[in-house]
Structure 1
Amino acid sequence: MFPVLETDRLTLRQITDQDAEAIFVCFSNDKVTRYYGLESMKSIEQATSMVQTFAGLYQEKRGIRWGIERRDTKELIGTIGFHALAQKHRRAEIGYEIVPAHWRNGFALEAISKVVSYGFSALGLTRIGAVVFTENEASNRLLVKMGFQKEGVLRQYMYQNGVPYDTNVYSILKSRE
């Protein structure tokens, strides 16, 4: 059973084929993909394929990706989730993106907060990592604000449009009560 998470303003839910158009709108936007290590989508088929990839991630227990839906408008405004899930080592990496029209409204903070807490409580993780392009100032600031600690820089770690970029590595650890 795919877990549905709720915050004040958001529902984090399974992404389905019906979401392909919203996924396309998101991932065909150069502002979204600029720091993603992924070329902008050119067709709806690519979006459908990504939906299948997200489904496979969950089925194979390699991760989980939620659609970020606004509760008021029922609009899918992005995705968030864990990849590189290693249950044996109780760790995963978090990734997320939001359509630019919804930037700077605190939606990412709200979604990350919920997903991190789910990772620690429901998935039993002790470490959640994040890899962020050094140029992605908004995301770097957000993670630090949320208690992630910068661990270092991975040089020329991700390619975007054929160009290698450095990335910052962050982690947040489950506090030992």
Structure 2
Amino acid sequence: MYICGGVTPELHGARIELQAIAVCHAPALYEIWTHPAVGPWLNAPPLESACDAGQLIELLLQMSREEESLRWSIALPDGKIIGSCGYNQWQLAGAYRGEIGCELSPVYWGQGYMRETLELMLDFGFGTMGLNRIEALCHPGNTRAAGLFRALGFSQEGLLRQYRHTGAGFQDAALFALLRSDRQK
């Protein structure tokens, strides 16, 4: 059973590294989080500046220290930050499930970086954290995310009507899930 003690471990893939999100990543993440092709899909408050992104990162770091969430920046070998990902929440006792979230700079879409990222996260969730079920929520219109989740073996289990409230109003969320036993097939 995973207890992180407020420390986010680094995870290494063939082409990317997942490093603990840091305030120094705020300028790069601000550009990604506010990109017109990314921002509308996020369940996050509107950001006006890199300073706002830094404050959001501080909140995410506090949540990590309190073991309420776990967030990584996705980095290339040269250190360039191209996205972020993490466990928005998890519940071990009685449920052994977690919910993931992720976003990537559109410059890197379609090149397998997010698939590699999610593979690292799934291995960590099922292996180190001891999860049995990993969930992902996405806007029903986000066909790229839905397609990636399906390609990784997730099943769409339903539609959560008016699940989130954003600046655009109430939004539905598609619920995808992957079980440990699905991953082992």
TM, length-normalised to structure 2: 0.89
Q: Deviations over 1:44-68 (max 9, x none)?
A: 2211111112211211111211110
Q: Distance in 1 between matches of 2:63 and 2:123?
A: 20
Q: Pick from 74, 79, 82 the counterpart of residue 77 of structure 1.
A: 82
Instruction: Kindly state the Cα deviation for residue 39 of structure 1 after the two structures are TM-superposed.
Output: 4.6
Instruction: Kindly state the Cα deviation for residue 122 of structure 1 after the two structures are TM-superposed.
Output: 0.4
SS at match of 1:157: strand
Aligned residue identity for 2:108 = H
Alignment-derived partner of residue 35 in structure 2: 29
TM, length-normalised to structure 1: 0.93
CA RMSD of aligned residues (A): 1.5
Q: Distance in 1 between matches of 2:135 and 2:114?
A: 16
8 Å contact 1:14–1:66 — kept in the other structure? yes
SS at match of 2:38: helix
SS at match of 1:95: strand
Larger deviation, residues 129-138 vs 150-159: 150-159
Runs of 4 or more consecutive aligned structure 1 residues displaced over 6 Å after TM superposition: none
SS at match of 1:31: coil
8 Å contact 2:76–2:82 — kept in the other structure? yes
Listed as ranges, the matches of 1:40-59 within 5 Å are 40-59=46-65
Confirm or deny that 1:151 pairs with 2:157.
yes
8 Å contact 1:62–1:86 — kept in the other structure? no
SS at match of 2:116: helix
Alignment-derived partner of residue 60 in structure 1: 66
Instruction: Kindly state the Cα deviation for residue 104 of structure 1 after the two structures are TM-superposed.
Output: 1.1
Larger deviation, residues 74-83 vs 50-59: 50-59
Alignment-derived partner of residue 106 in structure 1: 112
Alignment-derived partner of residue 14 in structure 1: 20
Aligned length: 176
Instruction: Kindly state the Cα deviation for residue 33 of structure 1 after the two structures are TM-superposed.
Output: 1.3
Larger deviation, residues 156-165 vs 74-83: 156-165
Instruction: Kindly state the Cα deviation for residue 2 of structure 1 after the two structures are TM-superposed.
Output: 2.6
Alignment-derived partner of residue 140 in structure 2: 134
Aligned residue identity for 2:98 = A
Give the fraction of aligned pairs with identical amino acids, expressed as a percent. 26
Instruction: Kindly state the Cα deviation for residue 26 of structure 1 after the two structures are TM-superposed.
Output: 1.3
Q: Distance in 1 between matches of 2:37 and 2:143?
A: 13
